[in-house]
Amino acid sequence: MGSYSQWIANCLINKAFRPSSVFKPESPDKQIDLDQVAGDYTVMTATTQDLFIDAVIVHVPDDLSGVAGFTSIAVATDDVAAIEILSAAAGAKANLTGDFYHVYQRPEVTAAAQVIELTIAGGAAGAGTVADITVMWRPVVAGGYYLNA
């Protein structure tokens, strides 16, 4: 089989599963202020049930390559076996030269009550700097959802 979207299309055509209350991809957006000290900042929290993370888009609109003290950003879940969405190497300030986009695409399951978090390394990136994060997800079973922090 080809890509994940081909697989989804094939399943829908063959009625292996049907869009229902169990399959509702959602796209909550979260903006994280990068003018904060180095540390972990919660993007979203999985509540009640396990969730599929189908795709995540990380967008940093500003050029941060010359910001003194700031080193990188990274995005991951805090599951026991963390799901790395954006590595610190990929999110290094040398790569954040303006209008940076990183797209993570694959179905992964994160456990209930776990968070997606953005990590700032080094130090603050300066006033007005942000990372925009969009998560496409769906519940493993009915009742699960992401809560924006």
Structural domain containing residue 99: 21-148
β-pair partners for 146: 46
Query: What gap in Å lies between CA 136 and CA 134, rounded to an integer?
Result: 7
Residue 2 maps to a domain: no
CATH of the domain at 37: 2.60.120.1330
Residue 28 maps to a domain: yes
Residue 31 maps to a domain: yes
For the chain, the farthest-separated pair of C-alpha atoms sits apart, in whole angstroms, at 55
| 99-127 per-position pLDDT tens digit | 999 999 988 999 999 999 999 999 999 99
CB under 8 Å to 127, separation ≥6 — which residues? 35
| 70-96 per-position pLDDT tens digit | 999 999 999 999 999 999 999 999 999
> Is 86 within 8 Å of 32 (Cβ atoms)?
no
Examine the pLDDT at 149 and tell me if it is beyond 70: no
> Is 56 within 8 Å of 133 (Cβ atoms)?
yes
| Structural domains of the chain, count | 1
Residue 11 maps to a domain: no
Q: What pTM was computed for the model?
A: 0.81
